[in-house]
């Protein structure tokens, strides 16, 4: 009689983050119970005090790399993991942690902490894929729990996860939402990857881009539209940097605009 197949060893780790993505996973409740029957969960600080040194079949990493210790931890996790998943905006685009990119770090530390000589931090916040190989990404702030479930099922079955390569606008049209751009709102939906279910636009709030850039996003045209709507350059920069200051796809066009006269 053959022995039962060993369950995949799965772990969750957090770097600099709010742990909101891990909390969203716990919110899956009954769906999560089905997943737990198919895996061996060895590390998940939001749901268990157990720790495990690896190796791991699947490792989910939430949060940004903000210091050398976290960078070493990420590299260690990469070495111990067959599959590494960057989970959430902080891990995939830098998230809100990357807002400080391009600013004077020493001045920021002094303003917030006073004597901050003991605080060591990296000069820039970047997506995890800039440091190590990442097999899959789960976007969002926080992630969509259903997308997490879909990814885990695909990994367990050996299939390729479906990637949403279309913008939030498609989800808005499917929900028959009124286009907020026509209402004068600065909405990043046209250049933001779908997956949230148009959560914010569906309740009257413009998209802030937390799902990161859609493939081949026409960022330049979005900047032109915002300008034609009367937005100042500073307003546009703040809009684009909210979740994506660490995403080259979003900020490279802004950098170009810094060298030319702002559109009138």
| Structural domains of the chain, with CATH | 9-157 (3.40.50.700), 168-258 (no CATH)
pLDDT surpassing 50 at residue 263: no
Q: Which of 11-15, 87-91, 106-110, 187-191 has the lowest mean pLDDT?
A: 106-110
* C-beta separation of 124 from 246 below 8 A: yes
Query: Can you tell me the distance from the alpha carbon of 183 to that of 204, in angstroms, rounded to the nearest whole number?
Result: 10
φ/ψ of residue 243, rounded to 5: -120, -5
Sheet hosting strand 136-138, strand order edge to edge: 40-43, 9-14, 56-62, 81-87, 136-138
DSSP strand pairing (56-62 vs 40-43): unpaired
CA-CA-CA-CA torsion sign (211, 214, 215, 217): negative
Q: Which residues pair with 10 in a beta bridge?
A: 41, 58
Query: In this structure, are residues 58 and 10 in contact, taking their beta carbons and an 8 Å threshold?
Result: yes
In angstroms, the first-to-last Cα distance of the chain is 76
Q: Take residue 115 and report the two structure tokens written for it.
A: 């004597």
- Residue 2, pLDDT > 70, answer no
**DSSP character string of 199-243:** TTGGGT-----TT-BPTT--HHHHHHHHHHTT--HHHHHHHHHHH
pLDDT, the chain, mean: 90
DSSP character at residue 215: T
SS3 content of the chain, % helix, strand, coil (to 5): 40, 15, 45
Query: Is residue 125 within 8 Å of 65, Cβ to Cβ?
Result: yes
Higher pLDDT, 107 or 172: 172
Considering the entire predicted model, what is its pTM? 0.90
The HSE-up count of residue 66 (CA atoms within 13 Å, CB side) is 19
Predicted confidence band at 112 (pLDDT cuts at 50, 70, 90)? Answer: confident
Per-residue model confidence (pLDDT) at position 261:
52
Q: How far apart are CA 63 and CA 60, in angstroms?
A: 10
């Amino acid at each position: 009689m053959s022995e039962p197949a060993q369950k995949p060893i799965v772990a969750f780790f957090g770097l600099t983050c709010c742990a909101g993505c891990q909390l969203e996973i716990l919110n899956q409740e009954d769906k999560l119970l089905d997943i737990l029957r198919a895996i061996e969960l060895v590390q998940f600080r939001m749901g268990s005090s157990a720790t495990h040194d690896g190796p791991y079949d699947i490792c989910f990493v939430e949060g940004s790399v903000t210091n050398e210790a976290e960078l070493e931890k990420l590299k260690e996790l990469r070495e111990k993991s067959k599959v590494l998943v960057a989970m959430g905006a902080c891990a995939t685009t830098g998230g809100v942690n990357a807002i400080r990119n391009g600013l004077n770090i020493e001045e920021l530390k002094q303003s917030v902490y006073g004597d901050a000589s003991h605080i060591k931090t990296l000069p820039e916040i970047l997506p995890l894929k800039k440091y190590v190989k990442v097999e899959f990404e789960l976007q969002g702030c926080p992630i969509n729990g259903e997308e997490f479930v879909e990814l885990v099922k695909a990994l367990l079955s050996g299939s390729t996860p479906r990637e949403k390569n279309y913008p939030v606008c498609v989800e808005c049209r499917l929900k028959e939402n009124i286009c907020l751009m026509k209402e004068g709102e600065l909405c990043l939906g046209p250049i933001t990857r779908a997956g949230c279910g148009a959560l914010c636009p569906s309740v009257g709030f413009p998209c802030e881009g937390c799902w990161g850039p859609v493939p081949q996003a026409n960022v330049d045209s979005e900047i032109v539209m915002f300008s034609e709507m009367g937005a100042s350059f500073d307003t546009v920069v703040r809009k684009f940097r909210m979740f994506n200051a660490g995403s080259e796809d979003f900020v490279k066009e802004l950098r170009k605009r810094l060298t030319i006269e702002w559109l009138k």
